[in-house]
Structure 1
Amino acid sequence: MASRRLVEVYLDLMSQPCRAIHILLNCNKIPHTVRSVALRKGEQRTPDFTKLNPMQKVPVMEDNGFVLTESDAIMKYLATKYAIPEHWYPRQPERRARVDEYTAWHHTNTRPHAARVFILEVLLPAQTGSHVDEVRLNRALSQLQDTLDKLESMFLRRQPFLCGDDITVADLLAVCELMQPMVGGRDVLQQRPQLQHWRSRVQSAVGDSFDKAHAVLYAARDRRKAKL
């Protein structure tokens, strides 16, 4: 009988969803192998990777021949299949529905609004050599503030984590997005004590897996700061 291969994940840790998967795997000690895909070098467009994922995007997971894309699907698959604490993606229907509710909302709110701040303040100026478009950046920051308001008033209302009393995959997806603007030296939660406390709870819950996943982001922040 052929031996079972470890889960393989194709990641670029400058990618927010990739970091969320990295944290979930490491803090739960799921045996796995990381295959690095450097987006800045265009490695997602190589023939081998395109065969694996024709959409040419990370993350990608391969589990004993089963290939899966999209961070939300990958995290829920891992939480369902492997022997990790049930709170990550609860089996009880109402609690699971709360996680699904947030992750559905996440992809049209937290993710695009936080990412746009990073793109306008860091990525586009680095790629084009142009100055930051302050008008567009201020508009993006305003949209992000609306999203942060909803995180506080809806998802963190009277509970420590986004979907209840325990950390779930939803918290990992959200916190990794909200960390991304730090590359530009911007902490989008600076004036948000409720969200700061939530971020601290997430960090405490996952231990050193948080900083390991974000090491590349911290390094990018420090390099950028040194050039200013």
Structure 2
Amino acid sequence: MKLYHMPASPPSRSVLMTIRCLGLDVEIIPVDLLNGEQRSPEYLKINPIGQVPVLDDDGFILTESRAIMTYLVNSKMPESTLYPKNAKDRAIVDSKLYFDATNIFSLIFAAMRPLYFNGEKEVCAEKREKIKQALQHLENFLDGKLYFAGNDPTLADISILSNIAYLKNAFGGIGNLPNLEGWYKRCEDMPGYQENVDSAKIVSQILEQIGIKLSLTAQDSCLYVASMSTPSRAVLLVVRNLSIDIEIKQLNLLAGEHRRSEFTKINPRCCVPTLVDNDGHNDFILWESKAIMIYLAEKCQRFGHSLYPKCMKSRAVIHQRLFHDASELYVRILDIANLAFSGVNPMITVQHKENLKKALQILESFLEGHDYMTGNSITICDFAYFASVCTLVHFGYDISKFTCINQWYQRMGKYEGIKECDEGAQEFGEMIKGKLGNSFND
């Protein structure tokens, strides 16, 4: 017998592991799919579809991995418990084989094909979600069972194992699925297990070569920001000071990256910052900077509660400050930014200056007799205000006339991420001053 085989292919590995479990003597003929060997005239004579695996049993050509697996048991070792003779037991195995074909492998193929052949760099959230839902079904199938068709391994386990090994290597894990992880560990005792798992590692090597890193787990969490965005910089200050390990994805707003379809699917409002927090099962998507700051501070319990204390009255004061920043100070910043980009002889008016002065006078009152905005301990609202005030400073506004604000601004310089915030504000400020000049000093 001959098996035309590609090690990275889950269906190929399923057939090879079946061969190992049955102890069959089969010649393995490698087929290099990535270099198109499956499309050669010689191979298309064997399998006109141009896929692997293909079994050649003394001239009898058979394709489709699950058909090959069942044929091998039926024809070579019919007494094997891998594919039981009892009609009901066999039907259970068949049902899991079909589920694997239509729900696991088909989803993997749909997710990965655009990466290999269309040059895409990510698997979209919708496809990841479908894979995670299918994995949850597998998790549920294993409730009260050691293997997928009962308490003994069958062809269903071999077929599913090949796909799970693929997912583990392609996505760096499958999330928090204890039944599935326990089953995966039990499969170690099956002949051909290590060969199957080791061959699946080719997948991660291929992805690494083409510069792609995927995840189905919490490592997939990310924060979309823009360095010139004041709300983005406020959230980044919270991230830095809570030492949150999360991927930061910078969007170029001027180039319209926030309006691309892959981002609008995540956030139809097309705004930054946007948080995608993946707990291994579902993507929790949140925008609006103050909501993100509260969520992150509340979630990071291991860092204590100083940034967002548990006391309800303390929280109420923090919320008051956050709403003031959102509805007063930040709005005044937006007024100036919108003016700069209006294109009709933009000029900062007396009214603009008066509005800013009133907003900053309220800040000054918050700080009288205190080191920080709500008292003598720093909270998330200090980071929100710092991002706003830092923007104003780089617009050319002189805060030295506000003694408490000026002292607080200097005091904030010791915290993580302040330099990063300042650099983003400086970039934004230079753009605004390029359009308005240093109008605050006129």
TM-score range, shorter chain: 0.7 to 0.9
| 2:81 partner SS | helix
Q: Show the counterpart of 2:46.
A: 52
Q: Show the counterpart of 1:4.
A: none
1:152 positional shift: 2.3
- Sort the Cα spacing of 1:84 and 1:92 in 2 relative to 1 into closer, same or farther, 3 A: closer
Instruction: Give the conservation status (yes or no) of the 8 Å contact 1:179–1:187.
Output: no
1:180 positional shift: 1.3
1:37 positional shift: 0.7
Instruction: Give the conservation status (yes or no) of the 8 Å contact 1:161–1:198.
Output: yes
2:159 is matched by which residue type in structure 1? Answer: L
Separation in structure 1 between the aligned mates of residue 95 and residue 167 of structure 2, nearest angstrom: 25
- Sort the Cα spacing of 1:72 and 1:224 in 2 relative to 1 into closer, same or farther, 3 A: closer
Indicate whether 1:221 and 2:204 are aligned. Answer: yes
| 2:166 partner SS | helix
- Match for 2:147 among 152, 161, 169? 161
Separation in structure 1 between the aligned mates of residue 171 and residue 132 of structure 2, nearest angstrom: 17
Separation in structure 1 between the aligned mates of residue 35 and residue 206 of structure 2, nearest angstrom: 18
Structure 1 residue runs of 4 or more that deviate by more than 6 Å after TM superposition: none
Separation in structure 1 between the aligned mates of residue 163 and residue 89 of structure 2, nearest angstrom: 23
RMSD: 2.2
Identical aligned residues as a percent: 25
Give per-residue Cα distances to partners, 1:39-96, cap 9 Å, x unaligned: 1111111112111111111110011111111001000000111137621100111111
Q: Show the counterpart of 2:242.
A: none
- Sort the Cα spacing of 1:195 and 1:85 in 2 relative to 1 into closer, same or farther, 3 A: farther
Separation in structure 2 between the aligned mates of residue 193 and residue 182 of structure 1, nearest angstrom: 14
Pick which of 190-199 and 214-223 moved more: 214-223
Q: Show the counterpart of 2:80.
A: 86
Instruction: Give the conservation status (yes or no) of the 8 Å contact 1:115–1:180.
Output: no
1:24 positional shift: 1.2
Under a length normalisation based on structure 1, what TM-score does the superposition of the two structures give? 0.83
Separation in structure 2 between the aligned mates of residue 176 and residue 144 of structure 1, nearest angstrom: 15
Indicate whether 1:202 and 2:187 are aligned. Answer: yes
Q: Show the counterpart of 1:13.
A: 7
- For structure 1, the residue ranges without an aligned partner over 5 or more in a row are 1-6
Under a length normalisation based on structure 2, what TM-score does the superposition of the two structures give? 0.45
Separation in structure 1 between the aligned mates of residue 52 and residue 207 of structure 2, nearest angstrom: 24
Point out which structure has higher relative CO (alpha carbons under 8 A, 6+ apart): 1
- Sort the Cα spacing of 1:13 and 1:222 in 2 relative to 1 into closer, same or farther, 3 A: closer
Separation in structure 1 between the aligned mates of residue 135 and residue 40 of structure 2, nearest angstrom: 37
Q: Show the counterpart of 2:173.
A: 187
- For structure 2, the residue ranges without an aligned partner over 5 or more in a row are 214-442
Indicate whether 1:62 and 2:52 are aligned. Answer: no
Separation in structure 2 between the aligned mates of residue 131 and residue 74 of structure 1, nearest angstrom: 34
Please show how residues 35-184 of structure 1 align to structure 2 within 5 Å.
35-83=29-77, 86-117=80-111, 119=112, 124-125=114-115, 127-132=117-122, 136=124, 138-153=125-140, 155-184=141-170
Larger radius of gyration: 2
Q: Show the counterpart of 1:212.
A: 195
Q: Show the counterpart of 2:296.
A: none
Separation in structure 2 between the aligned mates of residue 223 and residue 92 of structure 1, nearest angstrom: 42
1:131 positional shift: 3.3
- Sort the Cα spacing of 1:65 and 1:164 in 2 relative to 1 into closer, same or farther, 3 A: same
